[in-house]
Chains A and B, each alone.
Chain A
Amino acid sequence: MLRYSFRRILSLGLSLLVASAVIFSVVELVPGDPASFMLGTGAQPETIAALREQMGLDQPLPLRYANWLGALLQGDFGQSFTYKAPISELIGDRLQVSLALAVLALLLAVAIALPVGVYAAARRGQAGDAAVMGGTQLGIALPNFWFAMLLVLLFAVKLRWLPAGGFPGWSDPLAGLKALILPAVALALPQAAILARVLRSALIETQGQDYIRTARAKGLSAGQVLRRHALRNALIPVLTIMGMQFSFLLAGAIIIENVFYLPGLGRLIFQAINQRDLIVVQSAVLVLVAAVITVTFIVDLAYALVDPRLRRR
């Protein structure tokens, strides 16, 4: 396990390094000079020169990358020139919304998928299973931003139960939570559909195993076997998918955050792109990618911890 962890940590570090290089160079690909791109056509030459100096554009590319990376490692993400604030602060603020939204959406997805997947597996081949499978097909095909609009129409406009958008902050936790319910549901439903399908097929796959037959032979009912033995083993693939989904929810909320005007990390990136604030774009995208890579790493480790067979790869 130690050797496996060491190898995985090494590859984690390498992935993060390459990812940072890719993000750094993608932003360098901006047509023309980054400073004039950021300031637009109407900018004064002196302003452009000042920004060029602040960004260190007069230095060679590898040196600039090294400096950027060095500062990042010390927690210095640079200064946003549109928000006039340290980027680390901006990202920290936005993460409070994005992380909460991703966690809430994932919890919801699991809460829906678990009973639905177990139900479908238990009624495999029957009408109930067919209905669930049809429903999950619909869920997977659902464009989440459109679903979000329909939710707003029903729960915010017609019924007036929940806010249609915006975020009041966490000073009033209940109001903050209320603002995140509709976006979380919109994000969660398609993910729940995927999760339920994975759980169902994982459960069905365990049915043919010897230990299931043994459990049945010693007198457990089908339901008891499902809960005590099958579910535990079926959870492994489900956990992997959940890890992937968490990173998707963190990054993929970018459009949903726009529908609900939520000040999350995705919306920060989107606004920064529109305002051509490349320094914010670089750092915020890197934070997202680093989060995705790290979550994948943790899931891999947890996976190996649960299933020793995987360590030998």
Chain B
Amino acid sequence: MRPGTILGALLAGLAVLAAAVSFLWTPYDVTQMAIADKLMPPNAGHWLGTDHFGRDILSMIMVGARVSIAVALVAVGIGMGLGVPLGLIAAARRGSWLEETIMRGNDLIFAFPSLVIAILITAIFGPSAVNAIIAIGIFNIPVFARVTRGGALPLWTLDYIRAAEVSGKGAALISLQYILPNIANLLIVQGTIQFSLGILAEAGLSYVGLGAQPPTPSWGRMLAEAQTMVTLAPHVAIIPGLCILLTVLGLNLLGDGLRDALDPRLKVMR
């Protein structure tokens, strides 16, 4: 394995670990304010310092990781759950009006500026983590539909799929039994990429106040709150941003590594 892949796995793993541990234990209670201790730089008592309410930043980062990961994960789930079947149908019914409709629908969703629509959705239905998930998830659907169709189309011309057709298996069964397992690696790689994009999108939405609502900490909102204090205590702004950067970087490196590991042909091209 390349060192980049290992680094990526470590960084992404660290974020997941922080989120998992936060369910059982955080150094401090994230809702507990201690104004006397406000804006403390990192020290022995508070490893990452405190914010403007004296809350422990490490604890907030840990719980915030939970929100980021949950939002991105469910959004990928929505994209895969709807996009993969659509892509499989489009490939199985290639050349038909059904494929045309699915693919044009895809193009249409792609044409919408995702962030603007996400902001529109969360604004109309109220800001919350759930609405952020839906908004991000919708834009994952065409991505997975396209990757699935692109991966499935060449498979349909192969002899063993022809053989399955001749033996009387229907398009649905062939898609599930033969096509899906063969494009699983593509989907895993795309899933990692969309997962990291989801974390960035969630951070952006909660930065403008349209993600998880207080008192639940989220990385994006920590940044928004830090914006006015950045000159007094730079660590309040630097730490959450660094967490987003490192998590996304980790996932991207992991995605690249997985792609190379799952598709040996790409190694030659590099």
List A residues at the B interface (Cβ < 8 Å): 11, 15, 18-19, 22, 26-27, 29-31, 125, 134, 137-138, 140-143, 145-147, 149-150, 152-153, 157, 204-205, 247-248, 250-252, 254-255, 258-259, 266, 269-270, 273-274, 281, 285, 288-289, 292-293, 296
A-B contact pairs, 20 of them (CB 8 A): A140-B248, A143-B223, A143-B241, A143-B245, A143-B248, A145-B223, A146-B240, A149-B230, A153-B230, A248-B113, A251-B113, A252-B115, A254-B116, A254-B208, A255-B208, A259-B227, A281-B120, A285-B116, A289-B113, A289-B116
Q: Which residues of B contact A250 (CB under 8 A)?
A: 113
Q: Is B178 an interface residue (CB 8 A)?
A: no
Given A18-B108, A255-B204, 20 other A-B residues pairs in contact with their CB atoms under 8 A: A19-B112, A22-B112, A26-B120, A26-B124, A137-B252, A140-B252, A141-B246, A143-B248, A145-B223, A146-B237, A150-B241, A153-B234, A204-B269, A205-B269, A251-B113, A251-B115, A273-B120, A281-B120, A281-B123, A285-B116
Chain A residues near B115 (CB-CB < 8 A): 251-252, 254-255
Q: Which of B230-270 contact A (CB under 8 A)?
A: 230-231, 234, 237-238, 240-241, 244-246, 248-249, 252-253, 269-270
Judge if B24 is at the interface, Cβ distance under 8 Å. Answer: no
Verify B116–A143 contact, CB threshold 8 A: no
Q: Shortest 6 CB-CB distances between A and B: which pairs? A: A251-B113, A146-B241, A141-B249, A141-B248, A273-B123, A293-B111
Whole-angstrom CA separation of A281 from B116 in the bound complex? 10
Check if B132 is an interface residue, CB within 8 A of chain A.
Answer: no
- Residues 170-217 (chain B) with a chain A CB within 8 angstroms: 196, 200, 203-204, 207-208
- Answer yes or no: B107 CB below 8 A from chain A CBs: yes
Chain A proximity of B150: nearest CB distance (Å): 15
Decide if B249 touches A251 in the complex (CB within 8 Å): no
Instruction: Tell me whether A137 and B249 are in contact (CB under 8 A).
Output: yes
Q: Which of A18, A29, A137, A250 has the most chain B CB atoms inside 10 A of its CB? A: A137
A11 to B103, CA, bound (A): 13
Tell me if B92 counts as interface (CB < 8 A to partner A).
no
Q: Which residue of A lies closest to B109 (CB)?
A: A22
CA distance A140 to B207 in the complex (A): 19
User: CA A42 – CA B248 in complex, angstroms?
Assistant: 44
Give every chain A residue within 8 A of B125 (Cβ-Cβ).
31
Q: A138-B245, A146-B244 are in contact. Are A292 and B123 (CB under 8 A)?
A: no
Tell me whether A285 and B120 are in contact (CB under 8 A): yes
> In whole Å, how far is A313's beta carbon from the nearest beta carbon of chain B?
12
* Chain A positions within 8 Å of B252 at CB level: 137, 140-141
Shortest distance between the CB of B148 and any CB in chain A (Å): 20
The listed residue (A11, A29, A255) touching B124 by CB distance below 8 A is A29
- Report Cα–Cα, A18/B107, bound state, in Å: 11
B119 adjacent to A269 (CB under 8 Å): yes
Q: Shortest beta-carbon distance, A137 to chain B, in Å? A: 6
Q: How far is the CB of A40 from chain B (nearest CB, A)?
A: 14
Measured CB to CB, the nearest residue on chain B to A289 is B112
Cα distance A95–B144 when bound, in Å?
A: 33
Contacts of B231 in A (CB 8 A): 153, 157
Which of the residues A30, A258, A269 comes within 8 Å of B116, measured between beta carbons?
Answer: A269
> Separation in Å of the B100 CB from the closest CB of chain A?
11
CB distance from B242 to the nearest CB of A (A): 8
Contact between A15 and B230 (Cβ–Cβ < 8 Å)?
Answer: no
Q: Is B230 in contact with A292, judged by CB distance below 8 angstroms?
A: no
**B107, B111, B223: the one within 8 Å of A149 (CB):** B223
Contact of A143 among B123, B204, B270 (CB under 8 A): B204
A258: B residues at CB distance < 8 A: 208
B196 contacts which chain A residues (CB < 8 A)?
A: 141
Q: Within 8 Å CB of A143, what residues of B? A: 200, 203-204, 223, 241, 244-245, 248
Instruction: For A22, list chain B residues within 8 Å (CB).
Output: 108, 112
A273:B203 contact, CB within 8 angstroms = no
Chain A neighbourhood of B244, CB < 8 A:
143, 146
Residues of B within 8 Å of A270, CB to CB, are: 119, 208
Q: How far is it, in angstroms, between the C-alpha of A26 and the C-alpha of B4 when the chains are bound? A: 43
Q: Which residue of A lies closest to B234 (CB)?
A: A153
Question: By CB atoms of chain B within 10 A, which of A27, A134, A141, A204 has the most?
Answer: A141
Near A by CB (< 8 A), chain B positions 112-150 give: 112-113, 115-117, 119-121, 123-125
CB contacts (< 8 Å) of A31 on chain B: these are 124-125
Cα–Cα distance between A141 and B193 once the two chains are bound (Å): 11
CB distance from A297 to the nearest CB of B (A): 10
Residues of B within 8 A of A205 (CB): 269
Contacts of B4 in A (CB 8 A): 134, 137
Distance in angstroms between the alpha carbons of A192 and B235 in the assembled complex: 27
Q: In the assembled complex, how far is the CB of residue B162 from the closest CB belonging to chain A, in whole angstroms?
A: 25
Chain B contacts of A142 at CB under 8 A?
245
Which residues does chain A contribute within 8 Å of B113, judged by CB atoms? 247-248, 250-252, 288-289, 292
Min Cβ gap A10→B in Å is: 12
CB nearest neighbor in A for B241 = A146
CA of A267 to CA of B129, assembled, Å? 22
Chain A residue contacts of B107, Cβ below 8 A: 15
Interchain CA distance A304-B248 in the complex, whole Å: 35
Q: How far is the CA of A15 from the CA of B110 in the complex (A)?
A: 11
Q: Do residues A289 and B111 form an inter-chain contact, with CB atoms below 8 A?
A: yes
Q: Which residues of B contact A269 (CB under 8 A)?
A: 116, 119-120
